[in-house]
Structure 1
Amino acid sequence: MKLILKWLLSAASLLFVAYVYAGVQVSSFASALIAALVIGLLNTLLRPLLVLLTLPVTVVTLGLFLFVINALMFWAAATVLDGFQVTGFVAALIGSLIYSGLGMVIESALARLLPQE
């Protein structure tokens, strides 16, 4: 239940990012659902490998390079999908920052509402 609710809220937050920031476009809620799923899969499968491979750069930049990795995951999802577009790397960076912030709010709210499932 919590996973499905988080998925729906993540799709809604993608629509919010597209509404707030012009560099990100989402054509429909169905596209947002698919994009949220693809972003989640990329973050689960590919992001740990990228973090491990770029660990020296991440240490030198005091962790700021993780923002670049998040932007790359956001941009990669946009290149794979049709109904989800990002205009460039800077748009991916800003969009991923907004999306990550909303994801933290969603995670916190779900932890309070559904404590142990």
Structure 2
Amino acid sequence: MNYLLRVLVTAASFWVAVWLLPGMEVMTDSGAPDTGETVIALLIVSVIFGVVNSIVRPIVSLLSLPITCITLGLFTLIINAAMLALTVWLTSFLPMYVVIDSFFWTAILAALIISVVSTIMNWLVSSVTS
């Protein structure tokens, strides 16, 4: 149940990022998706994002620890954007995927939005379920 809530929170965070950023959108092989396809695509992307964050992110965070310390933790935002870019690349092989037009600023802003919205929603969900 806890995992399902995390997937839903991450999917909602992705939806907010797609809604706010003009350079990020959900696509299908047949073009622009309808509402049901968008929801399914966001759920799939959030599961893949969770897998990437649980497998790849710890390794990247450990290897980039010196530069993260030098930048006082700001490099973590670049790591988040890289994990988002890896997720976008991995989902590009699926029939439903997320597209980011220009990597650097759109990915940085999307990673920031996803992090903030996920944190707020996780806090709200944990306070309601407790």
State the TM-score, normalizing by the size of structure 1: 0.92
Give how far 1:103 is off.
0.6
Kindly report which structure 2 residues correspond to 1:28-39, keeping only aligned pairs within 5 A, or say none.
28-39=38-49
| C-alpha deviation, 1:85, in angstroms | 0.9
1:53-74 CA distance string (max 9 Å, x none): 0111111111110100000000
Between the aligned partners of 1:114 and 1:30, the Cα distance in structure 2 is: 25
Q: What residue is the counterpart of 1:10 in the other structure?
A: 10
Q: Is there any run of 5+ residues in structure 2 with no aligned partner, and where?
A: 28-37
Q: Deviations over 1:88-111 (max 9, x none)?
A: 121111001000001101110121
Count of aligned residue pairs for this structure pair: 115
Aligned counterpart in structure 2 of residue 85 of structure 1, from 94, 99, 107: 99
How far off its partner does 1:29 sit?
A: 1.3
State whether residues 14 and 26 of structure 1, in contact with CA within 8 Å, keep that contact through their aligned partners in structure 2: no
Q: Percent of aligned pairs with the same residue?
A: 29
Does the 8 Å CA contact 2:16/2:113 hold for their aligned counterparts? no
Q: Write the distance in 1 (CA, Å) between the matches of 2:63 and 2:87.
A: 20
Q: Which residue of 2 aligns with 1:49?
A: 59
How far did residue 40 of structure 1 move?
0.8
Aligned to 2:30: none
Runs (4+) of structure 1 exceeding 6 A deviation are: none
Partner letter of residue 10 of structure 2? S
Cα displacement (A) at 1:13? 2.1
Tell me whether 1:103 sits opposite 2:118 in the alignment: yes
TM-score, normalized by length of structure 2? 0.83
